[in-house]
Amino acid sequence: MTVPSGAAGAGRRRVLIIEDEPDLVRGLRDALEFEGFEIMAAGLGREGVTLARDRGPDLVLLDLMLPDMNGFAVCEEIRAVNPVIPVIMLTARSQENDKIRGLEAGADDYVTKPFSIGELVARINAIFRRLQRITPREEEITIGTTVVYPRRHELVRRGKTMALSFYEVELLRLLAERDGQPVPREEILEKIWGVSSNSSTRGVDNVIVKLRRKIEDNPGDPRHIVTIYGTGYKLVMD
């Protein structure tokens, strides 16, 4: 099986930018096209939802403050048509509470404006590197009464199927590979988000919260995704 990589023609990854600041769109477009991505852009939330539905991008960069809709509503509508696509929300520094709401609405990650385009590109490249590494014969992961199907971005628990986002799948995969050994937050951040040390690890913690809601009987007192204080997390599979 050959997997198209980088800037190689027909296999180019497609990034949808939903953002109403023309200078920012221009900067992102230049940097991402230079990296070999195909870019589509929308300045309105409604237009972004339509592009996400009709043109099947591989990743979405979503501004929180748009002229016609707020980013949360846009994110929810995109999630309704594509539950697994990676969505990175672009928020302003003063919108701390909004980050939490954004993650509730289904965004997996966020960057705070003003951000370094270099760091954002690193995160996007990390997502696509990991997507490429998924092997065709990958097995399922059984965690208690839950069976996770990484390639389908789904889990089944007590007869109910739930969609998993890109970050949820990757985090479970990484913890499962360690077979019960603790994995430091910084390592999770570097391997999955593609960013190192100085960045906030809150994105990791938020994905953990979402996973516990899907997997644990009692998400407030988790049995399977266990916090190791001062370090990170480990996965208890039985």
Instruction: Determine the Cα–Cα distance for residues 112 and 73; give it in Å rounded to an integer.
Output: 19
Q: Smallest distance from the beta carbon of 48 to Ca ion, in angstroms?
A: 12
Q: Smallest distance from the beta carbon of 109 to Ca ion, in angstroms?
A: 18
Which residues of the shown chain bind Ca ion in the complex (CB under 5 A)?
Answer: 20, 63, 65
* Strands of the 225-228 sheet, one edge to the other: 183-184, 232-235, 225-228
Q: Smallest distance from the beta carbon of 132 to Ca ion, in angstroms?
A: 31
Q: Smallest distance from the beta carbon of 96 to Ca ion, in angstroms?
A: 17
CB-nearer residue toward Ca ion: 14 or 113: 113
Q: In this structure, what token pair is assigned to residue 200?
A: 């906030």
CB-nearer residue toward Ca ion: 58 or 63: 63
In the bound state, the residue with its beta carbon closest to Ca ion is 65
CB 21 within 8 Å of CB 44:
no
CA angle 214-191-51, nearest 5°?
A: 65
| Number of CB atoms found within 10 A of residue 208's CB | 21
**Which residue type, as a one-letter code, is found at position 195?**
V
Q: Smallest distance from the beta carbon of 13 to Ca ion, in angstroms?
A: 24
Q: Smallest distance from the beta carbon of 24 to Ca ion, in angstroms?
A: 8
| Number of CB atoms found within 10 A of residue 197's CB | 8
Instruction: Determine the Cα–Cα distance for residues 218 and 220; give it in Å rounded to an integer.
Output: 5
CB-nearer residue toward Ca ion: 20 or 47: 20
CB-nearer residue toward Ca ion: 20 or 35: 20
| Number of CB atoms found within 10 A of residue 47's CB | 16
Instruction: Determine the Cα–Cα distance for residues 185 and 166; give it in Å rounded to an integer.
Output: 17
Q: Smallest distance from the beta carbon of 88 to Ca ion, in angstroms?
A: 15
CB-nearer residue toward Ca ion: 63 or 170: 63
CB-nearer residue toward Ca ion: 25 or 225: 25
CB-nearer residue toward Ca ion: 77 or 170: 77
Instruction: Determine the Cα–Cα distance for residues 42 and 53; give it in Å rounded to an integer.
Output: 13
- Signed CA dihedral, 171, 173, 177, 181: sign only: positive
CA 149 to chain centre: 17
